[in-house]
Amino acid sequence: MLLDTHVLVWLTEGRPELGPEARAAIDGALVDDAVLVSAISFWEIAMLARKGRLALIQPPSAYRRDVLALGIGELPVTGEIGIEAVRLELDHPDPADRLIIATAALARQVLVTADHRVLDWDGPLRRLDARV
């Protein structure tokens, strides 16, 4: 499974927004080293921290190191992903989110997200609502 950026933050901060079913699914996948995150999520987190919209207790580089130490794998943003992000038949204005969606689709991963635009989309992507 691939975690959307906000889901990664909810997971690492123990936030109540992450629903019990989603949390159990993530925990089960962690045991099998089957939880992934797009590299663009670390860029998003660093940008949010820089803008003061996300309070981290450590620098973004240390946050990334700790996330990877949990056994969460990082998928790079490739040219193929960039092209797929443009091709998506989805009305979503955020380029980082489009890259995350394309990453999940190309890697054939379930995207764990609470983004209603993604959850309501009828495109070919397996999704799990992070709030359940």
pLDDT of residue 63: 98
Q: Find the radius of gyration of the CA atoms of the chain.
A: 14
pLDDT of residue 17: 98
Query: Cα–Cα distance between 58 and 64 in angstroms, integer?
Result: 10
Domain ranges of the chain: 2-129
pLDDT digits (tens, 9 = 90+) for 27-37: 999 999 999 99
pLDDT of residue 35: 98
Buried b (16+ CB within 10 A) or exposed e, 86-109: eebebeeeeebbbbbbbbbbeeeb
| Percentage above 70 pLDDT, the chain | 100
Query: Cα–Cα distance between 6 and 83 in angstroms, integer?
Result: 23
Q: Which of 92, 127, 88 is nearest to 111 (CA)?
A: 127
pLDDT digits (tens, 9 = 90+) for 87-130: 999 988 899 999 999 999 999 999 999 999 999 999 999 999 99
Residue 36 bridge partners (DSSP): 2, 73
CATH class of the domain comprising 2-129: alpha beta
